[in-house]
Amino acid sequence: MAFDFPFLFSLCKLPFTFGVAADAIVSTGLSKLGYHYVNIDDCWAEIARDDKGNLVPHKVKFPSGIKALADYVHSKGLKLGIYSDAGYYTCAKKMPGSLGHEEQDAKTFASWGIDYLKYDNCNTDGSKPTVRYPVMTKALMKAGRPIYFSLCEWGDMHPALWGMKVGNSWRTTNDISDNWESMVSRADQNEVYAEYARPGGWNDPDMLEVGNGGMNKSEYIVHFSIWAVSKAPLLIGCDVRNASKDTMEILGNTEVIAVNQDKLGVQAKKVRMLGDLEVWAGPLSDYRVVVLLANRSPVKDTITAHWDDIGLPADSAVTVRDLWEHKTLETKFVNNLTATIDSHSCKMYILKP
Ligand SMILES: *[C@@H]1O[C@H](CO)[C@@H](O)[C@H](O)[C@H]1NC(C)=O
Ligand SMILES: *[C@@H]1O[C@H](CO)[C@@H](O)[C@H](O)[C@H]1NC(C)=O
Ligand SMILES: *[C@@H]1O[C@H](CO)[C@@H](O)[C@H](O)[C@H]1NC(C)=O
């Protein structure tokens, strides 16, 4: 498996029919682009376990249970994600966490046909994440079904340093909110750990806010572009049933998705920062390089990427593909590439020698 993209809904806020989410992912065409997981977040269970200690799906939100939902989601060619917590209660405190019940809960998830587990870090016993998370890793390995393990300890103990042995991705940051400052600060915190990401274990700067309305279109393009070059899990966080044309154009940019899914699996880094003008770059398969020129300032400006900053020989002539204009530039470029970029906007290119 390469790495798939989940789709996330919080049940604490929305009473949501997940079958409808699965239908929408298929009818919008997003599933064909690689968005395969439909993820249930907090508040999916009753507050009390049953008399055998098992988690009980919320009787109003999931009247037919989770297994029936998993069967439905699988029948659409999708996968189902669920949520728990390495503490006594989850963050919303409306259902139990898995601390002390790891094996039992992992078996329950496997028996329902769950494919993905997000594991949160609220209401714990005060012990370290490095102690509590590996217990669930072992439990999942014994449960008899491959389940993607998404660590969500918010970057508390630098999970990039130990996450590879414990899970498939790890949140490097606190929760994102739907505004520019929050988004760029998540991007920055996540970038610090670029060296630690590789196939099998990814840095996760949290879900995508694209489509939720708190940023404008070019800011959402910057958001999606940074997540893509950072090889971050692309978790759609908006209601895809009403996604606008602009939202679909961003989430559906197959050239940008292909960068995220590139088989080399190397996370791009910020190679130059001239104040608010940034050059991000990283290698792709077949000796290609992805370059992101991002203008974080309030005014239009010019940004130059120099070959010696982005890992190309200074004299190499490259063809340049603009991934948001969907155009290959007419001339070959040598030594550097310059673009004029609007405020809170970016250009994303693939350079091919
Ligand atoms: C999205 O669409 C659903 C029905 O398809 C509707 O119930 C909901 O209110 C809509 N949400 C927004 C934000 O428009
Ligand atoms: C970019 O490279 C060209 C040669 O292709 C050179 O003439 C020019 O001075 C360079 N520009 C910058 C800003 O370094
Ligand atoms: C998006 O918002 C930023 C910040 O307010 C602004 O500088 C930029 O011009 C806006 N871009 C568009 C396309 O509206």
* Residue 208: closest CA among 184, 176, 239: 176
In this prediction, residues 115-127 reach a mean pLDDT of 98
Instruction: Dump pLDDT digits (tens) for 288-333.
Output: 999 999 999 999 999 999 999 999 999 999 999 999 999 999 999 9
Ligand nearest to the CA of 334: 2
* Residue 149: closest CA among 3, 257, 26, 251: 3
Q: How far is the CA of 293 from the centre of ligand 3 (A)?
A: 16
Task: Output the ligand 3 site: residues, CB below 6 A.
Answer: 216-219, 298, 342-344
- Can you name the residues that pair with 280 across neighbouring β-strands? 270, 292
Q: How far is the CA of 344 from the centre of ligand 3 (A)?
A: 6
Instruction: Dump pLDDT digits (tens) for 135-148.
Output: 999 999 999 999 99
**Residue to mutate, 303, 333, 335, 338, ligand 2, most ligand atoms under 8 Å from C-beta:** 335
Whether the CB of 331 sits within 6 Å of ligand 1? no
Q: Is 175 a catalytic residue?
A: yes
Q: CA torsion angle for 222, 224, 229, 231 (degrees, to 10)?
A: 150
Radius of gyration of the chain (CA): 21
Q: What is the pLDDT of residue 255?
A: 98
Atom of ligand 3 nearest to the CA of 218: 13
Atom of ligand 3 nearest to the CA of 219: 1
In this prediction, residues 1-6 reach a mean pLDDT of 42
* Confidence check: pLDDT of 11 > 70: no
What is the C-alpha to C-alpha distance for residues 45 and 65, in angstroms, rounded to an integer?
10
Residues 81/37, Cβ–Cβ less than 8 Å? yes
Confidence band, pLDDT 50/70/90 cuts, at residue 2? very low
Ligand nearest to the CA of 246: 3
List alpha helices for the chain, DSSP H.
18-27, 65-75, 102-112, 129-142, 180-191, 217-229, 245-251, 254-260, 307-310
Instruction: Dump pLDDT digits (tens) for 197-222.
Output: 999 999 999 999 999 999 999 999 99
Q: CA torsion angle for 320, 325, 331, 334 (degrees, to 10)?
A: -40
Whether the CB of 327 sits within 6 Å of ligand 1? no
Catalytic option among 175, 286, 308, 342:
175
In this prediction, residues 10-30 reach a mean pLDDT of 77
Catalytic option among 42, 105, 120, 206:
120
Confidence band, pLDDT 50/70/90 cuts, at residue 60? confident
Atom of ligand 1 nearest to the CA of 20: 5
The whole-model pTM stands at: 0.95
* Confidence check: pLDDT of 9 > 70: no
Residues 6+ apart with CB under 8 A from 73: 18, 19, 22, 38, 79, 80
Instruction: Dump pLDDT digits (tens) for 231-281.
Output: 999 999 998 888 999 999 999 999 999 999 999 999 999 999 999 999 999
What is the C-alpha to C-alpha distance for residues 243 and 27, in angstroms, rounded to an integer?
12
**Residue to mutate, 239, 240, 244, ligand 1, most ligand atoms under 8 Å from C-beta:** 239
In this prediction, residues 14-42 reach a mean pLDDT of 87
What average pLDDT does the structure give for the chain?
94
Q: How many CB atoms lie within 10 A of CB 64?
A: 11
Q: Tell me the backbone φ, ψ of residue 58, rounded to 5 degrees.
A: -55, 130
Confidence band, pLDDT 50/70/90 cuts, at residue 20? confident
Q: Tell me the backbone φ, ψ of residue 233, rounded to 5 degrees.
A: -60, 135
Residues 69/62, Cβ–Cβ less than 8 Å? yes
Would strands 317-322 and 277-283 be described as parallel, antiparallel, or unpaired? unpaired
Instruction: Dump pLDDT digits (tens) for 72-110.
Output: 999 999 999 999 999 999 999 999 999 999 999 999 999
Q: Is 156 a catalytic residue?
A: no
Confidence band, pLDDT 50/70/90 cuts, at residue 18? confident
C-alpha distances in Å from residue 201, one per residue of 130, 160, 225, 231, 315: 16, 9, 20, 10, 35
Q: How many CB atoms lie within 10 A of CB 47?
A: 11
CB crowding 274-299: b at 16 or more within 10 Å, else e: eebbbbbbbbbeeebbbbbbbbbeee
Whether the CB of 319 sits within 6 Å of ligand 2? no
Ligand nearest to the CA of 184: 3
* Confidence check: pLDDT of 3 > 50: no
What is the C-alpha to C-alpha distance for residues 260 and 202, in angstroms, rounded to an integer?
11
Q: What is the pLDDT of residue 1?
A: 25
3 state SS of 249: helix
List alpha helices for 95-215, DSSP H.
102-112, 129-142, 180-191
